[in-house]
Structure 1
Amino acid sequence: MSRSSTSDEGEKDIGVRKEAGYGEHNEEHEHDDLAEALQPNFAAHDDIEKSTEQPVQDGDGATLTKVQSQYSVNNVKSVPDGGATAWLQVLCSFFVFFNTWGIINAFGIYQTYYENGILAGTSPSNLSWIGSIEAFLLMLVGSVAGPIYDKGYVHELLGVGSFLIVLGQMMLSLCSTYWQVLLAQGIAIGIGTGLIFTSGVAILSTYFSTKLATATGIAASGSSIGGVLYPIIFYKLQPTIGFAWATRVMGFIALFTLGISNLALRVRVLPASRRKFLDLPAWKIKPFLFFNLGSFFVFIGLYAPFFYIQSFVLQTGLMEPNLAFYLLAILNGSSTFGRLIPNIIADRIGPFNVLTPCATMCAVLQYCLISAKSSAAVIVILALYGFFSGTLVSLPATCYVHLAGPTRRGLIGTWMGMGFAFVSLGILCGTPITGAILAAYSFTEVWIFGATFILVGSFFTILSRLAQADWKIFVKV
C-alpha cells in the first residue's frame, strides 16, 4: 500500500468521522471511542465489493491479506453490529477470556493444592509468585502484543499464544519441583495468555458499534466462567485420576476451545497503521497519573482473597474441604455480574462515578474478613467481593477513553498499553508480599494489607476523578 493511497484513505476516514459527529465526545459515541482504542486506524477499501483474499505487503514487508471491508471501522454505518459471523467472533472472544483470565482466576485452587501436594514445604509467598507472574505477563505481554496486532499478525498471535497455553498446561502435568511449575504455569502460560488476549478483545470492535458493550460483556463473562469451571474440574478429578491427568484434562479443554477460536476468528478490516507505543508526556497529566497510581495500589491488594481464601477457611476451621473449594467458584461466579451490571450503570452516570465506590467496597469487604467467624459470613462477603472486584477489571478501559477525551482519541490505545503495563507491576508484587506476610504473621494481617492498599488506590482514583471533572463533584465523569 503506497503512502499516497494511505493518505487518501485517511482523508476519507476523517471525512466520514466528521459526518458521523465524532468531533464531540458524548455518550452516543463513547463505545465508538473504545472501539477505536482497541482497533485504531483501519484502511478503507472503497473499491472492494467482496473479499479478494489477495496478499499485500505492508511498509515493513510483512505479508497481509485483504479482507472484506468497504469502509474504515470508524465509519459506524459499515460495522455489521450483528449477524452470524459477528456473533461467532463473540464466541471466539469468549473462549479467549475463558483461557486467559479464566485460568488465572482459577489459580487459587492450585495454590491450595501446592501447599499440601507436590510443593508441600514451599512458602505461600513463593507459591504465589507463580500466579502473580502469570497475571503479570498477561498484562505486560498483552500491551506489547497490541502493536503487533495492528500490523496484521492476528492469527500468528492467536496461534502461538494458544500453543504456549496448551504446552504449559501439559508440561505442568509432568512437573514435580518448584522451578518446573514456575516455568510451565507461570511463564509459558503467562506469555501465551498475553499473546492471545489482545486479539480476543480487539476483534469485537470491528464487528459491533451500538452493541459493542453487550458483545464485550458476553465475551468477558468467559473469564468468570473459566474461573468457576476450571477449579471445579480440577477438584473433582484430582482425587480420582491424580494431579497429572486432572491437569491434562484442563489442557485438552483449552486445546478444544482455543481451537475453535483459531479456526473461526475472522479479521474484517486491514490495519493501515500501528498505534504509538509510548506517550511519555501523558504522565504529566494529573488525571492520567492519579488513575494509574490508583489502579497500581488497588491491584496490589485485590487478588489476596482469590489466592488465599481457601487456605484461610481450612486453616481456621470455618469450613469443611468439600465446601471450601466452592468459594473460588462463588467468587468468580458473582464476578460475572460485576462485569455486566456496573457497566450499564456507568453508561448513565460515568465510569469514574461507578469505579471509585466499587474499589472502596472491595477494601471494606476485605476488612470484614477479619471478623468473619462463620461459613455463612465468608460466603456472603465473597459473593459481594466478587461482584465489586469484577467492576475493577471491566471498567478501566472505558476510564482511559474518558481520560483521553476528544482531543487525544488517537492516543487511547497507547495510554491503555502504558497504563496496563504499569498496573501489571502491582499484580506482580501484590500476592507474593501477601504470602510473606502470612508466613510471618496471620490471615488478619493479610486482609489488613490487601484492604489498606485497595483503600489507598481508591484515594488516588478519587483524585483522578476530581481532576478529570475540574474538581466538581456532582457531574458525570
Structure 2
Amino acid sequence: MASPTSSLGDDFEKDVGFEKTRSSHEDPRLTQQQQDLIEASEPPFTEHVQSDGGDLEKVTSAKPSVTNIKHVPNGGTTAWLQVLGSFFIYWNAWGIVNTFGTYQTFYETDLLSASSPSDISWIGSVQAFLLMVVSALGGPLYDAGYVHHLLIGGSVLAVLGQMMLSLCTTYWQVFLAQGICIGIGTGAMFVPGVAILSTYFSTKIATATGLAAAGSSLGGTIYPIVFHQLQPKIGFAWATRVLGFIMLATLIVSNCVLKVRVLPEGRRRFLDLTAFKELPYVLFVAGNTMAFLGLYNPFFYVQSYVIESGIAGPGLAFYMLSIINASSTFGRIIPGYTADRIGPLNMIVPCTFFAGVLCICLAAAHSIGPVIAILVLYGFCSGTLVSLPPTIFVHLTENRAVIGTRMGMGFAITSVGMLVGTPISGAILNASSFTYVWVFGGICTVAGAGCLLACRVAKGGAGLMTKV
C-alpha cells in the first residue's frame, strides 16, 4: 500500500500532467499540515522572472505548485529574509492590537477620562476588526499581483495613524487615527506577510510560520513596556511618536526584504456560499466567533482591574499585558508543532476551553501572584486561537481552489466577535463590576470551545485517538 504522502504526490503529478518519479514525494518528513498545504495549492502559477531587457515580467510557471516540495526553496538567505520581513509585519499588525490594553488604561485615567470604558474599547475593537476584514478583502488583490501596493500602502497608513495619534486630544480624533487609520493599514500590510511564506517553505513551513507569528506576541510585549517607561518622562505625544518611529524602522525592513516568488494565475472569488452547507465549516466559524467575543477581555481590561482592585500599583500593572503577550509567544509556536502530531482541531479545543476557564478564574484572583499565574497560562492557551485557524481552514476545505476564499470568509465573520466583544464587556463593567467582565468573557470562550468540539466530532468522529 502506498503511503499518504506518496498517494498525494501521485494525484499532484496527475493533475498537472507530469510523470512521477519514484522519489518525488515519498518524504517521511512531511507532516499532515505540510501535506494539507500541498493539497491547498492552486495551479497554474505565474512567476516573476528577469527578461533580456532586465525588467521583471510575469510568465507561466512550469512549476505545478507554489508549495510543491520539489521547487520550494525551503531555506537559503532569501527565504529566511522572508521570515524576518513577515516577523515585523506580525510585530506591527497583531502586536499593535495586543498593545491596546495599555492605551485603554491610559485613556480611562487621563486623555479620555470623560469617556466610558465601553466607548474607549470601541477604538481597539474597531482596529482589530478592520485588521481581519481588510486582510480578507485584500486576498484577491494579493492574487492579482498588487503585493507591494498592499505592503507599502498599509505601512504608510499604519505609521501615519500612529503619528497622528500623538496629536489627538479628543475621542473622535483618537478613534479615526488609532481605530480606523491604523486598522486599515495593518489589515492591508498583513496579507503579504502571511501569504509569501507559503511560497518559500513546505517541509519547514511550521518553523517559518511559528517564528514569524511570534512577532505579534513580542511586539505586544515590547510596545507596552516602551510606552509605560516613556510616557511619564516625555509625555503621551512623544511616547506615541517613539512607537511610531519603531514601527517605521521595522516596516522599512519588511518592505525591503519581502520578495514575491510566485503568484496564482487565477483570481480568488470573494464568496463561496457552498461552505455554509458543510457542517464542520459552519461550526468552526461559529466557535471562533463565539470565542473571540470573550478572548480579548484580559488583554483590554486586566491592567485596569489590578489597579482599581488594589492588587498592584500602576507601575506593576502596566506589565500585566506584557506578561500575557510574552507567554502567548510560546502558545503560538509549541501548539503548532504538537498539532502536526495530534491534529489541529484536537489541539485548539482544549486550549480554547482552558482559556475560558482561566478568564473566569480571574474573578477569584485577589492578589498579584495568582493573577500573574493565570495570565501566563491564559497567554499560552489564547495563542492557539491566533496560530491554528489557518491550518484548520485547510483541513476543512476539500476543494483547494477555494481555500483562500473560505479562509477570508471565516476571518471576516470571526472579526464581528472581536468588534463587539470588548465593548459589551465595557458596558458590563459600567453597570456592575470586573467579576462579570471575566465571567462573560470566560463563558463566551468556553461556548466557543463547545462549538469547536462539535466541529471536531463532525469532521473526524467521536474517537478520542482520531487525528483531526
Q: Is TM (by shorter chain) over 0.5?
A: yes
Q: Per-residue deviation at 1:155?
A: 0.3
Instruction: Tell whether the 8 Å contact from 2:32 to 2:340 is kept in structure 1 after alignment.
Output: no
2:282 maps to 1:280: no
Partner of 1:59: none
| Cα distance in 2 for residues equivalent to 1:35 and 1:133 | 35
The match for 2:243 among 228, 242, 250 is 250
| Cα distance in 2 for residues equivalent to 1:221 and 1:301 | 22
Partner of 2:37: 34
Instruction: Tell whether the 8 Å contact from 1:42 to 1:269 is kept in structure 2 after alignment.
Output: no
| Cα distance in 1 for residues equivalent to 2:165 and 2:45 | 43
- CA distance 1:11–1:351, shift in 2 (3 Å): closer
Partner of 2:17: 15
Alignment of 1:451-462 (within 5 A): 451-462=442-453
Alignment of 1:281-360 (within 5 A): 281-360=274-353
Partner of 1:107: 100
| Cα distance in 2 for residues equivalent to 1:157 and 1:420 | 18
Deviation track 1:310-346 (CA, whole Å, cap 9, x = no partner) reads: 0000000001211111111110000000001111111
Alignment of 1:132-151 (within 5 A): 132-151=125-144
| Cα distance in 1 for residues equivalent to 2:368 and 2:52 | 59
The match for 2:186 among 181, 189, 193 is 193
2:466 maps to 1:463: no
Mind listing any 5+ residue stretches in structure 2 that lack a counterpart?
1-11
Instruction: Tell whether the 8 Å contact from 1:339 to 1:394 is kept in structure 2 after alignment.
Output: yes
Deviation track 1:161-201 (CA, whole Å, cap 9, x = no partner) reads: 00000100000000000000000000000000100111001
Instruction: Tell whether the 8 Å contact from 2:31 to 2:340 is kept in structure 1 after alignment.
Output: no
Runs of 4+ in 1 over 6 A off after TM superposition: 10-13, 17-23, 53-56
Instruction: Tell whether the 8 Å contact from 1:52 to 1:67 is kept in structure 2 after alignment.
Output: no
1:73 counterpart letter in structure 2? V
Instruction: Tell whether the 8 Å contact from 1:338 to 1:386 is kept in structure 2 after alignment.
Output: yes
Instruction: Tell whether the 8 Å contact from 2:213 to 2:332 is kept in structure 1 after alignment.
Output: yes
- CA distance 1:381–1:11, shift in 2 (3 Å): closer
2:110 maps to 1:117: yes
Alignment of 1:32-431 (within 5 A): 32-34=35-37, 37=40, 40-43=42-45, 51-52=50-51, 65-66=57-58, 71=63, 72-404=65-397, 407-431=398-422
Instruction: Tell whether the 8 Å contact from 1:141 to 1:194 is kept in structure 2 after alignment.
Output: yes
TM-score (norm 1): 0.90
DSSP-derived class of the 1:270 partner: strand
- CA distance 1:281–1:22, shift in 2 (3 Å): farther
Q: Per-residue deviation at 1:88?
A: 0.6
| Cα distance in 1 for residues equivalent to 2:35 and 2:186 | 26
Mind listing any 5+ residue stretches in structure 1 that lack a counterpart?
1-9, 57-63
> What is the alpha-carbon root mean square deviation over aligned residues?
2.4
Q: Per-residue deviation at 1:53?
A: 8.4
Instruction: Tell whether the 8 Å contact from 1:169 to 1:247 is kept in structure 2 after alignment.
Output: yes
- How many equivalent pairs are there? 453
Instruction: Tell whether the 8 Å contact from 2:329 to 2:380 is kept in structure 1 after alignment.
Output: yes
Instruction: Tell whether the 8 Å contact from 2:221 to 2:323 is kept in structure 1 after alignment.
Output: yes
TM-score (norm 2): 0.92
1:31 counterpart letter in structure 2? Q
DSSP-derived class of the 1:65 partner: strand
2:455 counterpart letter in structure 1? S
Identity between Structure 1 and Structure 2 (%)? 57
| Cα distance in 2 for residues equivalent to 1:322 and 1:415 | 44
- CA distance 1:361–1:55, shift in 2 (3 Å): farther
Partner of 1:7: none
Instruction: Tell whether the 8 Å contact from 2:101 to 2:299 is kept in structure 1 after alignment.
Output: yes
Instruction: Tell whether the 8 Å contact from 1:92 to 1:261 is kept in structure 2 after alignment.
Output: yes
Instruction: Tell whether the 8 Å contact from 2:37 to 2:67 is kept in structure 1 after alignment.
Output: no
Instruction: Tell whether the 8 Å contact from 1:125 to 1:434 is kept in structure 2 after alignment.
Output: yes
